[in-house]
Structure 1
Amino acid sequence: MSSIIYTHTDEAPLLATYSFLPIVQAYAGAAGVDVQTRDISLAGRIIALFPERLTDEQQLPNALAELGELAKTPEANIIKLPNVSASMPQLKAAIAELQGKGYDLPDYPDNPADDAEADVKARYDKVKGSAVNPVLREGNSDRRAPESVKNYARQHPHSMGAWNADSKTNVATMSADDFRHNEKSVVIEADDDLRIELVPADGGEVVVLKPSTPVLAGEVVDGTVMHVAALDRFLAEQIERAKAEGVLFSVHLKATMMKVSDPIIFGHVVRAFFPNTFVEYGDDLAAAGLSPNNGLGGILAGLDALPNGADIKASFDAELAAGPALAMVDSDRGITNLHVPSDVIVDASMPAMIRIGGHMWGPDGAEADTLAVIPDSSYAGIYQATIDDCRANGAYDPATMGSVPNVGLMAQAAEEYGSHDKTFEIGQSGTVRVVNRAGDALIEHQVEASDIWRACQTKDVPIRDWVKLAVSRARATGDPAIFWLDESRAHDRTLIGKVETYLADADLVGDTTGLDISIMSPVEATKVSVERIRQGLNTISVTGNVLRDYNTDLFPILELGTSAKMLSVVPLINGGGLFETGAGGSAPKHVQQLVKENYLRWDSLGEFLALAESFAKYAQATGNTSARVLGETLDRGTGTFLNENRSPGRRLGTIDNRGSHFYLALYWAEELAKQTDDADLAARFAPLAATLREQESTINAELLAVQGSPAELGGYYRPDDALASAVMRPSATLNAAIDAL
């Protein structure tokens, strides 16, 4: 383990890196620790796709593939910041920006006309959605609020909206014909290779949807289908319900992670909300390449180019006025819940709604009760259970509430993360079959044209590791651990069998006597967990991959105000470590504010927490005791940072992300200077600590002086390094002190 890899990502986390990484590299270098970077940004990944079209200076290596291989080794020590999980509008915007910078990249071909365009589309599709996480996550997830963060939240509770007993906010979800209810699950008995095919109902030639999916003995394979006729009926009913109940209509999907299925579902929602417009003008919109799957915003932006664009716009406006009020992303700018599929991501949007009293923002700019539509019922119930608890008992109290840490099954693209290449919008009625090498059909579903069929895989090794990690966390904390598995769902029923087997394997998990470990459905587990957090008690949630995503936003947003303050450790199966730094859901708004006002609200606390764990891992692997001291002093410095309330403020004139980095550097240097475990480090950092303390007012003045004016970054998806560095390091005094180290 010769280096720590600090990832170069996107949006606000990337901008913060321009400010924080020079500090990290200077401090680490003083202890003989090499900190390198790898570019896994959306723009960097796009550039790496087309080396043959670019100049030598423009080309970039495939850093994601490199890190994916590193993650399989004991030497891995990777700090992974949030990255863009690109929706189609984001992907196209990034391509256009790079083209404008002189990169000879092809346009994204929505409907490839030949093999060359099909190849271009296939390459671009590799960077859509959550393309990074499945590659790097060669281990399961241990995500929790560090004690220092939890104590700070108790002493400085964030604001919570009031809940009323008569709140009309609810979740609407399908009761049949969705992914959950149609799921079938099998365990593979021996290594095999599966084919996914469609047998047409009219007796035509079999259509091979995916010719090869290698599987291993013990692997869980699932298949399911959402029948869109039922989806369309459901959506029409919920639109009428929202109007009848006088609440906002909103839809909550995961179009970034479920990058094939959920944009299609989003398109059905847009059609359902504007049925007359699509009946009358749907063919015109399709001919112009304006797809509802990409959102209402893209359609409206393209109407000026159509001869009847004004008529279509009037039709949209009429149906918008006649329907229920739409929840808004930005009411001042007229950005609705249906404008962009990646604007409303369920795991971030639902907790935010619950936190402010069950409200979303309406077209009038005011908060209002909301009907939250989550079509697939697999996990919708956890939000309804939380809403019901708040309606009955009021808002949670961050000053007293307990915690719900998570152990998540995600290694080796487990569960739905691995479903993208096995998700299809069916072209004709028939039977979808999953067939093994011997020709046996393992899974079959009757389908109609336009139905959405998908399969997913979960290997046995990650499941074993997941159970082991859950038991180790229960043993380390003494807290109850609940496996959130529903025996009425096919996939979960299969997993329950494996979990029960591995919990009984003393060679794997040790002696579990005295540990409180149970299995409950997600809804029942939610009820137990929220009852316990009201009592100030902690409950470990042990979940699959998608539910891991949901829980590690839901509970941290309620407990801490943000999921970015969580410690996210991924003990890699082969011995390395991946240290994640929190969520990036509000990153676009932060960038917009920086460009407008030269003020970055992004909170880098997640980076501080991950870095301390990374130093500890480095010290353990290499025997570098100075690295251990770096991690321990960073932890103590972070504690001071929190106690002194040096997180970024929310308005001009207060410290922003850059100011928070200065104070972290100050407190870290002071801890290094006074520690007694490493005299050389103490001597090296004592002058820096003194300089930063003496120059505190000067540095603050230099950091605050730039606020209020626009900032030029030279790009959104690929900022100009020199411009971004100048913006994010505006204090000459601080820079000189750090660089002198």
Structure 2
Amino acid sequence: MSTIIYTRTDEAPLLATYSLKPILEAFAGAAGIEVETRDISLAGRILAQFPDRLTEEQRQPDALAELGQLATTPEANIIKLPNISASVPQLKAAVAELQSQGYDLPDYPESPQTDEEREVRARYAKVMGSAVNPVLREGNSDRRAPDAVKNYARSRPHSMGEWSSDSRTRVATMGEDDFATNEKSVVVESEDTLRIVHVGEDGTETVLKESLPVTAGEVVDATFMDVQALRTFLAEQVRTAADEDVLFSLHLKATMMKVSDPIIFGHAVETFFTDVFERYGEALAAAGLSAKDGLGGILAGLDALGEQAPEVRAAVQERLERLPRLSMVNSDKGITNLHVPSDVIIDASMPAMIRNGGKLWGPTGEEDDTLAVIPDSSYAGVYQAVIEDCQANGAFDPTTMGSVPNVGLMAKKAEEYGSHDKTFEIAAPGTVRVVDGSGTVLMEHAVAAGDIWRACQTQDEPIRDWVKLAVSRARATGDPAVFWLDEARAHDANLIAKVTEYLQEHDTDGLDIRILSPVEATKLSVERLRAGQNTISVTGNVLRDYNTDLFPILEVGTSAKMLSVVPLMNGGGLFETGAGGSAPKHVQQLQSENYLRWDSLGEFLAIAESLRHLADRDDNPRARVLGNALDAATEKVLTEDRSPARRLGQIDNRGSHFYLALYWAQALAAQDEDAELAQRFAPVAEELSAKEQEIAAELLDVQGSPVDLGGYYHPDEDKAFAAMRPSATLNAVIDGLRG
């Protein structure tokens, strides 16, 4: 029996699963394929950490750890949907919801004082930020827009905001005293165990990390951000935005970079509201209100200040009414760019701004130019290069533009996304050292109290595999492959040496393979993009995230429509299904209007690749027939405009699933590779076609009324299934096929 592991995640992708997975189970069963679910949702991850506090019925296995082990085996076939990379406010909200449902979970200790509180916080730390992806990604990433998606975007282009050469939008970044400029990097010659220690000015040694195992050929980096320089920089940008009367917007990755970026976010909140924190900082701290949780968390907790609360609230409002204007997440609700750290994620927010003509939304709902503040300069130049191109040449044209697919280095927690357990907010001035097993100091930095220091690792085997995958994609497509590496950056210089060496292991005759700095690679890519040409971006882990949102949002309107394949290094397959940045808004709309706009196209594409992987691995030709027919059905969903529409009265996510099932059954009935399969699905196709109007009416009739899901992070199963499978007619056909 072949098996597909379908992940249960969060928000809109989770709700869509209640509708789509029964269809997948019914069709896959025809090829002897079982579809199993593993819960890696935020709620599931939280519950898995506290079995000692739960009843036997409430306990949940650690599915993420199980899948992490599976990903290292040839048997892995995992479909990974977008999940919440939780910020502290999201974690607290999920814990509160689970507590209200009867789960005996401890509160998240903001400032742990006892060993018990520190142990609780350590458990919660395991589920925050990028807890999922580094565990599952035991391979490198191949992400691209399928031809069907690209062709659809060209024939039905999405809206693009107009750019003006007079646009004042630009990126502001530090360029010194930040992670990029303070970076040091070494290549470890042999297997070893390193230590990270802090030596105070009085000689006191504090071990920050006792054991840091490394392998031969591994690239190890260390760097820090000077927090005083950061605060000076942020204050300068607040003044600049006020002087230029443009919106002030902050762009970070406070979810995936779950240790460093929330700290930076907190400094931004304190700097923007300097007068508020100068007057009330001690009172806020005493009430447990932290700038790291954002303005929203502070305002929500002001009642703890008693009589002083109205005074603080008025001070915040007075600051908001002065220049500069803050960009808004939701101006109608007064939610600012600094409200919640997880609301503004750079890889989604910057492309959206560029697509919108360089404009964001201000306090009164006005669109205006913005000063986009990206403190660390490692990759900020990429966005500035695209902005400058748009200011010079206008908006991109989806009907003619080329594509920028990506090959991303991400296996085995490569680069910054593996830095969380090696990131520290420095307690006292001194020196942080990385020391090898013999006591030799490999790297060191002089640091001050409050500085953010971190180390990263990139193993040699994933680098070699990354180069191999890049050459493979260049050979398969004939497109140039550009490694986005800057010889002036310490980490990149070491990677350039390895890339140059490992390229010699492959036949590159006739291939156009280059190494350019990220800024120069961006300029080349957008030039070719405008000429209708494709350029493969070969990048590290963070740029992989940035590029696989930036270019798809410009090319096809969304990153959710990308095909994302992760060939696992030990022979298995991980198939990812697009981005989930808009998932919270979709859930809110379902709850208020019983309408889910989430587009499951990414799931359709991933399922087809998963089926073909099973066909090859398990010698299951019927799985290939299913996969190819699914691709045909997916293309018909696009060409027939059966994707979720934008407003009530039209088909939503559930309607698109119905049409996928109809077109999939029709494709299987029409194919001539497997007569038995065609015979099995012919009556299904006929019945679904005959009952199309009845099913469509049942799906549309439920729209317009509020829906009770029994929870946001941990919905009630019965209520969620009822909401997402409202057509009794469709359910009868699908459940009959499932047997």
Question: If the length of structure 2 is used for normalisation, what is the TM-score?
Answer: 0.99
Residue from 633, 643, 661 that aligns with 1:637? 633
What are the residue-to-residue correspondences of 1:387-398 with 2, within 5 Å?
A: 387-398=387-398
Write the distance in 1 (CA, Å) between the matches of 2:567 and 2:37. 20
In 1: Cα distance, 2:2 partner to 2:595 partner: 36
CA distance in 2, matches of 1:622, 1:265: 48
Matched, 1:39 2:21: no
Measured in 2, the distance between the counterparts of 1:707 and 1:728 equals 11
Preserved contact between residue 129 and residue 258 of structure 1 (Cα < 8 Å): yes
Q: 1:274 aligned to 2:273?
A: yes
Larger mean Cα displacement after TM superposition, 243-252 or 304-313: 304-313
Equivalent position amino acid for 2:301 in 1: G
TM superposition shift of 1:328? 0.1
Q: CA deviation at 1:623?
A: 1.1
> How many Å apart are 1:41 and its aligned residue?
0.4
Alignment map for 1:638-717 (pairs within 5 Å): 638-717=634-713
SS in 1 for 2:450: coil
Q: Whole-Å Cα distance in 2 between the matches of residues 449 and 356 of structure 1?
A: 40
Q: Distance in 2 between matches of 1:274 and 1:208?
A: 35
Q: Which residue of 1 aligns with 2:452?
A: 452
Structure 2, unaligned stretches of length 5 or more? none
Opposite residue 664 of structure 2, the aligned amino acid is W
Which residue pairs with 2:544 in the alignment? Answer: 548
Report if aligned partners of 1:273, 1:323 keep a CA contact under 8 Å in 2.
no
The 5 Å alignment of 1:120-131 reads: 120-131=120-131
On the 8 A contact 1:12/1:588 being kept in 2, the answer is yes
Could you tell me which residue of structure 1 aligns to residue 584 of structure 2? 588
The partner residue of 2:515 within 493, 514, 519 is 519
Could you say which residue in structure 1 is the equivalent of 2:93? Answer: 93
Partner of 1:572: 568
Correspondences of 1:67-86 after superposition (within 5 Å) = 67-86=67-86
Shift of 1:8: 0.4
Structure 2 Cα separation of the partners of residues 311 and 194 of structure 1: 51
For residues 202 and 273 of structure 1, the distance between their equivalents in structure 2, rounded to whole angstroms, comes to: 35
Q: For 2:647 and 2:213, locate their aligned partners in 1 and report how far apart those are by CA, in whole Å.
A: 53
Hey, what's the Cα distance between the residues in 2 that align with 1:322 and 1:424?
35
Task: Encode CA deviations 1:639-685: one digit per residue, 9 max, x unaligned.
Answer: 11111011100000010000000000000000001111111111111
| 1:175 CA displacement | 1.8
Shift of 1:305: 2.2
1:310-329 map, 5 Å: 310-329=310-329
The amino acid of 1:39's aligned partner reads D
Please list, as runs of the form range in 1=range in 2, the aligned pairs for 1:176-325 lying within 5 A after superposition: 176-203=176-203, 205-307=204-306, 308-325=308-325
Deviation at 1:31, TM superposition (A): 1.6
Question: 1:124 Cα deviation (Å)?
Answer: 0.6
Structure-2 separation of matches of 1:221 and 1:267:
28
Deviation, 1:202, is 2.7
Specify every segment of 5 or more residues in structure 1 that has no aligned partner in the other structure, as ranges. Answer: none
Cα displacement string for residues 621-646 of structure 1 (whole angstroms, at most 9, x for unaligned residues): 11111111100100111111111011
Deviation at 1:277, TM superposition (A): 1.0
> Could you say which residue in structure 1 is the equivalent of 2:497?
497
Counting only pairs closer than 5 Å after superposition, residues 600-615 of structure 1 correspond to structure 2 as 600-615=596-611
CA RMSD of aligned residues (A): 0.7
Distance apart, 1:550 and its partner CA: 0.2
CA drift of 1:395 comes to 0.2
Q: Tell me the alpha carbon deviations over residues 66-86 of structure 1, each in whole angstroms, 9 at most, x when there is no partner.
A: 100000001100000000000
Q: CA deviation at 1:303?
A: 0.9
**C-alpha distance in 1 between matches for 2:565 and 2:641:** 25
Distance 2:202 2:329 in 1: 45
Report the equivalent of 1:23: 23
- AA aligned to 1:438 is S
Q: Runs in 1 of length 4+ with deviation above 3 angstroms?
A: none
SS at match of 1:139: coil
**Greater Cα offset, 342-351 or 297-306:** 297-306
After superposition, the C-alpha distances for 1:477-522 in whole angstroms (9 at most, x for unaligned) are: 00000000011111111110110010112xxx2x111100000000
Question: What is the CA-CA distance between 1:590 and the residue it aligns to?
Answer: 0.2
Whole-angstrom CA distance in 2 between matches of 1:339 and 1:129: 18
Shift of 1:322: 2.1
Deviation at 1:310, TM superposition (A): 1.2
1:539 is aligned to 2:538: no
**Alignment partner, residue 407 of structure 1:** 407
The alpha-carbon deviation at position 113 of structure 1 amounts to 2.2
Cα deviation, 1:207-246, whole Å, max 9, x if unaligned, reads 1111111001100000001001110110011001101111
The residue type equivalent to 1:519 in the other structure is I
Q: Which moved more, 1:113-122 or 1:417-426?
A: 113-122
1:425 equivalenced with 2:421 (yes/no): no
Paired residue for 2:730? 734
The CA distance in 1 between the partners of 2:442 and 2:449, in whole Å, is 22
| 1:356 maps onto 2:352 in alignment | no
Alignment-mate amino acid for residue 494 of structure 2: T
Distance 1:216 1:141 in 2: 22
Cα deviations across residues 293-319 of structure 1 (Å, max 9, x unaligned)? 110000011112213111111211222
Shift in Å at residue 320 of structure 1?
Answer: 1.7
Alpha-carbon separation, structure 2, partners of 1:382 and 1:112: 39
Answer yes or no: is the 8 Å Cα contact 2:153–2:556 preserved in 1.
yes
What amino acid is aligned across from residue 259 of structure 2 in structure 1? Answer: V
How many residues were matched structurally? 736
The secondary structure found in structure 1 opposite 2:412 is helix
Matches of 2:518 and 2:328 in 1, distance apart?
Answer: 29
Instruction: Write the distance in 1 (CA, Å) between the matches of 2:349 and 2:649.
Output: 29
In 2, the alpha carbon distance for the partners of 1:515 and 1:557 equals 28
Return the alpha-carbon distance in structure 2 between the equivalents of residues 105 and 729 of structure 1.
32
> 3-state SS of the aligned residue for 2:289?
coil
Residues in 2 aligned to 1:322 and 1:599: alpha-carbon distance in whole angstroms: 38
| One-letter amino acid of the structure 2 residue matched with residue 60 of structure 1 | Q
Of 549-558 and 106-115, the range deviating more from structure 2:
106-115
Asked whether the equivalents of residues 247 and 370 of structure 1 are also in contact (C-alpha less than 8 Å), the reply is: yes
CA contact (8 A) 1:191 1:216 kept: yes
- Normalising to structure 1: TM-score of the pair? 0.99
Residue in 1 aligned with 2:437?
437
User: Secondary structure, in 3 states, of the residue corresponding to 1:457?
Assistant: strand
Q: What is the alpha-carbon distance in structure 1 between the residues aligned to residue 253 and residue 26 of structure 2? A: 39
| 1:379 has 2:375 as partner | no
Q: Deviations over 1:30-84 (max 9, x none)?
A: 2211111100000001001111111111111111011000000011000000000
Contact 1:411–1:462 under 8 Å retained in 2: yes
Quote the offset at 1:2 in angstroms. Answer: 3.0
Q: Deviations over 1:169-216 (max 9, x none)?
A: 00000021000000000000111111111100133x211111111001
Equivalent position of 1:151 in the other structure: 151
Per-residue CA deviations over 1:78-128 (Å, capped at 9, x if unaligned) read 000000000000001111100110011111112222222211111110000
Give % identity: 72
Q: Give the secondary structure class of the aligned counterpart of 1:322.
A: coil
- Output the amino acid matched with 2:287: A
Report the Cα distance in structure 1 between the residues aligned to 2:31 and 2:582, rounded to whole angstroms.
Answer: 34
Other-structure match for 1:338: 338
Alignment-mate amino acid for residue 272 of structure 2: F
Letter in 1 for 2:396: Y
Question: Structure 2 CA distance, aligned partners of 1:172 and 1:636?
Answer: 45
Residue type of the alignment partner of 2:208: L
Equivalent AA in structure 1 for residue 678 of structure 2:
A
Aligned partner letter, 2:212: T
